[in-house]
Amino acid sequence: MCGIVGAVAQRNIVPVLVEGLRRLEYRGYDSCGVAVLSHGEPRRARSVARVSDLDAQVKESSLAGMTGIAHTRWATHGAPVTDNAHPIFSRDTVALVHNGIIENYESLRTMLRDKGYEFVSQTDTEVIAHLIHSMYRGDLFQTVREAVKLLHGAYAIAVIHKDQPHTVVGARQGSPLVVGVGEGENFLASDALALAGSTDRFAFLEEGDVVEIALDGVKIVDRQGLPAEREVRVVAAYGGAVELGPYRHFMQKEIFEQPRAITDTIPQGDEFTANLFGENAKDVFADIDSLLILACGTSYYSGLTAKYWLESIAKIPTQVEIASEYRYRESVPNPKALVVVISQSGETADTLAALKHAQSLGHAHTLAVCNVATSAMVRQTELAFLTHAGTEIGVASTKAFTTQLVGLFVLAVTLAKLRGRVDAKQEAAYLGQLRHLPAALNSVLALEPQIIAWSEEFARKENALFLGRGLHYPIALEGALKLKEISYIHAEAYPAGELKHGPLALVTEAMPVVTVAPNDTLLEKLKSNMQEVRARGGELYVFADADTRIVSEDGIHVIRMPEHYGALSPILHVVPLQLLAYHTACARGTDVDKPRNLAKSVTVE
């Protein structure tokens, strides 16, 4: 989604701004731009192509300046055309970039038109630029503080004014914004990753904060207008994340990083303890009688998988809901339910809103399973479990998913232990299995050449069905989502037992049916479902555990997984589905890391 970078320095800041945009490219965008104060005047370059095109433009026009802002835009209001690309100007005096959506932009536009402002874009952003221009009385910081009071909706903004040559002012409400602290220079960005090349010291702004960055310091006020201190933290972890290394795409790199990401996420000690989730987790866990999991997309599927673990291992009733549905329906709150939000980014607008909605309904106990320690979700929940996947650049989530599963499995076993449902022997066995997982994953990753051979077949298809049962049904859902989002092949997943209730009508020789076949208690039932497919001529592509005795024969292609991995088997079985989607997309020549219409970190509703 949209990305912001801003900087004040005593050197030409354009290369820093453009490099920041390059680092934010992975979030998805359809236009980009940069503006600087150059000899006291705002000047800008904008592009509806890639950041590399913008870079070429700024070099050709020798755009330079020591104070500036830049943006990648993912269109919401108005098409991705140059006039709508940010920075947006007001009367060649104010330049502004904006992430989020201003809900009352129509009434503000009417009010500003009445004052004589002309609108040249279709964006909601233009009202903020004109509003700030209309309210400016010599102090940009003060003006922004007053202007944001009139905005309804979610936003992060960065703004410059031609009369204040060494100042960038920012504000956030519902969208992230971080200050990068340098030596005699300071920065703003929507994601610390954007500034990784310039500083490793960051202050994360709170909701409602307004900030002024200057050469020699940073001034912040909170939503009440009171001076605020935000802790400056050293975050050095972003270095290698944007380097591709020997891989063709970030998605491939991230699939292969999973053994390392899981190693980093598995708890260090010799036991499952409530402390892994926060200081007062033990008291919270003793007080709850059920779980309500809220998430979107891939994170929702990790929640669906966790439900099986939570109900079978911990025997705790668990409900899993799509965040965007939960937030708008009338639910019956149970104050004894622990609300668990799952999110790679910790900034997904729907999940954040669902969390706030749950809190407003009286849910006091909340937990985030999240990959970003400084995210809004982690800050707004009572408890947190951090996955250590590292920055995920590919839009299609891979290592974030498997590390979420690790975190949720640890939650299930911890709750089971506290409820006396897991003894020391079983606990040690679970821990041993977790510790062996990275090695088991390496043997699954070694199947890549066989999966590449299948992907060449899949690349010629337009539809695919995915089947799984029980604990592996959410894995089938995740496999179908991966395939559709990056290869654009229409894919649907069903619990295999549901086939005969409708989707079997779709099965012909032209329909590949991917089957997740672990050697669990449902295997014989699954084999019957596979026969139903074969009887209709459907072509089966089966990822079968080595001990299932499913063999390749006419119309049944089998890739052999390791021996059955018990409760943790979903973490192994999802990996070949990620690889299948990845290589199918490569064979079809799609933009794997930035699939069309999609964005990383969906910060708008």
- Active-site annotation, residues: 2, 600
The letter for the amino acid at 223 is R
Binding range to ligand F6R, per CB under 6 A, among 203-211, 309-317, 342-350, 573-581: 342-350
**Ordered strands of the 366-370 beta sheet:** 318-322, 290-295, 337-343, 366-370, 383-386
Considering only residues 397 to 436 of the shown chain, the ones binding ligand F6R according to CB under 6 A are 397
The rounded distance, in Å, linking the Cα atoms of 34 and 56 is 12
Q: Is residue 390 near ligand F6R by the rule CB under 6 A?
A: no
Contact status, residue 294 vs residue 340, Cβ threshold 8 Å: yes
Binding range to ligand F6R, per CB under 6 A, among 35-43, 226-234, 252-260, 340-348: 340-348
Q: Is residue 67 near ligand F6R by the rule CB under 6 A?
A: no
Q: Which residues contact 126 (CB under 8 A, 6 or more apart)?
A: 88, 90, 109, 119, 120
E strand intervals along 140-235: 153-161, 168-173, 178-181, 186-189, 201-204, 210-213, 218-221, 232-234
> Would you give the distance in Å from CA 515 to the centre of its chain?
27
Q: Which residue, 343 or 487, is less far from ligand F6R as judged by CB?
A: 343
Contact status, residue 336 vs residue 366, Cβ threshold 8 Å: no
> Least CB distance from residue 494 to ligand F6R, whole Å?
19
> Least CB distance from residue 492 to ligand F6R, whole Å?
16
* Cis peptide, bond prior to residue 595, ω within 30 of zero: no
Q: What stretch of H or E contains 41?
A: strand 41-47
The alpha helices in 88-198, defined as continuous H runs, are 105-114, 125-135, 140-148
Q: Is residue 176 near ligand F6R by the rule CB under 6 A?
A: no
Q: Which residue, 481 or 558, is less far from ligand F6R as judged by CB?
A: 481
Q: Is residue 345 near ligand F6R by the rule CB under 6 A?
A: yes
Q: Is residue 375 near ligand F6R by the rule CB under 6 A?
A: no
Considering only residues 275 to 304 of the shown chain, the ones binding ligand F6R according to CB under 6 A are 296-299
List 354, 396, 517, 530, residue binding ligand F6R (CB under 6 A): 396
Q: Which residue, 303 or 512, is less far from ligand F6R as judged by CB?
A: 303
Contact status, residue 4 vs residue 189, Cβ threshold 8 Å: yes
> Least CB distance from residue 330 to ligand F6R, whole Å?
24
Q: Is residue 477 near ligand F6R by the rule CB under 6 A?
A: no
Number of residues that bind ligand F6R (CB under 6 A): 15
> Least CB distance from residue 413 to ligand F6R, whole Å?
23
Q: Which residue, 557 or 588, is less far from ligand F6R as judged by CB?
A: 588
3-state SS class at 53: helix
Binding range to ligand F6R, per CB under 6 A, among 32-40, 260-268, 345-353, 576-584: 345-353
The letter for the amino acid at 279 is E
List 343, 414, 548, 590, residue binding ligand F6R (CB under 6 A): 343
Q: Is residue 485 near ligand F6R by the rule CB under 6 A?
A: yes
Q: Is residue 344 near ligand F6R by the rule CB under 6 A?
A: yes
Q: What is the 3-state secondary structure (H, E, C) of 76-101?
A: CCCCCCHHHCCCEEECCCEEEEEEEE
> Least CB distance from residue 298 to ligand F6R, whole Å?
3
> Least CB distance from residue 254 to ligand F6R, whole Å?
11
CA distances from 260 to 256, 265, 266 (A): 8, 9, 10
Q: Which residue, 221 or 368, is less far from ligand F6R as judged by CB?
A: 368
Q: What stretch of H or E contains 38?
A: strand 31-38
Choose among 124, 187, 136, 186: nearest CA to 162: 136
Looking at beta carbons, which residue is closest to ligand F6R? 297
List 167, 348, 515, 569, residue binding ligand F6R (CB under 6 A): 348
Q: Which residue, 58 or 296, is less far from ligand F6R as judged by CB?
A: 296
Would residue 311 be called left, alpha or beta, if left means φ above 0 and alpha means ψ between -120 and 50 degrees?
alpha
Q: Which residue, 25 or 485, is less far from ligand F6R as judged by CB?
A: 485
Q: Which residues contact 197 (CB under 8 A, 6 or more apart)?
A: 16, 19, 20, 23
**Ordered strands of the 556-561 beta sheet:** 490-495, 463-468, 512-517, 539-545, 556-561
Q: Is residue 351 near ligand F6R by the rule CB under 6 A?
A: yes
Q: Which residue, 351 or 548, is less far from ligand F6R as judged by CB?
A: 351
The letter for the amino acid at 468 is G
> Least CB distance from residue 398 to ligand F6R, whole Å?
8
Binding range to ligand F6R, per CB under 6 A, among 341-349, 379-387, 443-451, 563-571: 341-349
Considering only residues 320 to 339 of the shown chain, the ones binding ligand F6R according to CB under 6 A are none
3-state SS class at 504: helix
Q: Which residues bind ligand F6R (CB under 6 A)?
A: 296-299, 343-345, 348, 351, 396-397, 481, 485, 601-602
